[in-house]
Amino acid sequence: MQLAFIKCHGSGNDFPLIDARGMALDDAQWAGIARALADRDGPVGGDGLLLLTEGSGAAAFGMRMFNSDGSEAETCLNGLRCTARLGFELLGIDHALVRLKTSVAEVAREAELAPGVTTVRTKVGPASIAAADVGLTTGDSFIDAPIPGLPDARAFTAVAMPNPHLVRFVDAVDEAELVALGNWCESGPALLPARANVSFVEQRGPADLYVRTFERGVGLTDSCGSAMAASVLAAGLTGRVAFGQEIRVFNKGGLVRGRADAERNVTISGNATFLYDASVEVNAAGAIAQPPLIHARREDEARAWEEAVSALA
């Protein structure tokens, strides 16, 4: 099948984005398309596949996100910004409610983070701290506390954004340790049968966080929007940053601005950058994609983001 898509990124988290409204494909087909298009060694590559879907009720449109392995995530906040931008442009609006897999989110255009950098604000929540909602099969909740059965005895904060996150604050990120724990969670152990995202977070100032994430279904990634949101919330829940205070959140892909409140709502503002418009032939059953035909490159947007990131270095 021939599919049109936009290659986009939020904080370096890159995706093919498809306007899937009115497309009658089943979950198995979308999973195969995700494996084909989000294969990092394939002709397109990405951290997952984003779908703009029909709205319902008060939601102007919806979003689905499939990971690189074909599994579907509850949300993806970096991807949500990009999907929201496409929805805004197609529907001629500047703010909306968005229907996600198991929840809804508020999205709105916002003043540019930097010149030429299209910026979108997302608000999700209230997030859950119930262990069962995070997918843990033990305990009631874990806030800056060890999780029995986890192969890491140090303190974690477990939150559902609604996708599951385990957040640990560290003096310095040890990527090998993060990958080892992420791989353990990825195996679907009895403690976490549905797996979880794992983040190590450095607090680099009163309101600056650096986040490194092993993303469920993806692996070690330069950026994960829901992990950044979970880290902002964890900073508030553990008293590291006051609720209501704006936080700058950095990762290898760039930065976002974030804020959490005492009701466990989290607001994230960041870029929604479109890189190019293309079409591609995909065999969904075989999860195989041909080289894409690129129709237009958004070089000004790519350059604006690169300049913004360079200014932070």
- C-alpha–C-alpha distance, residues 186 and 184, integer Å: 5
76: annotated active-site residue: yes
Candidates 8, 82, 185, 224; catalytic one: 224
The candidate with the shortest Cα–Cα distance to 254, out of 90, 157, 117, is 117
82: annotated active-site residue: no
Candidates 8, 76, 82, 185; catalytic one: 76
Query: Per-residue b/e over 270-297, b at no fewer than 16 CB within 10 Å?
Result: bbbbbbbbbebebebeebebeebeeeee
Q: In Å, how far from its chain's centre is CA 258?
A: 14
Catalytic residues: 76, 224
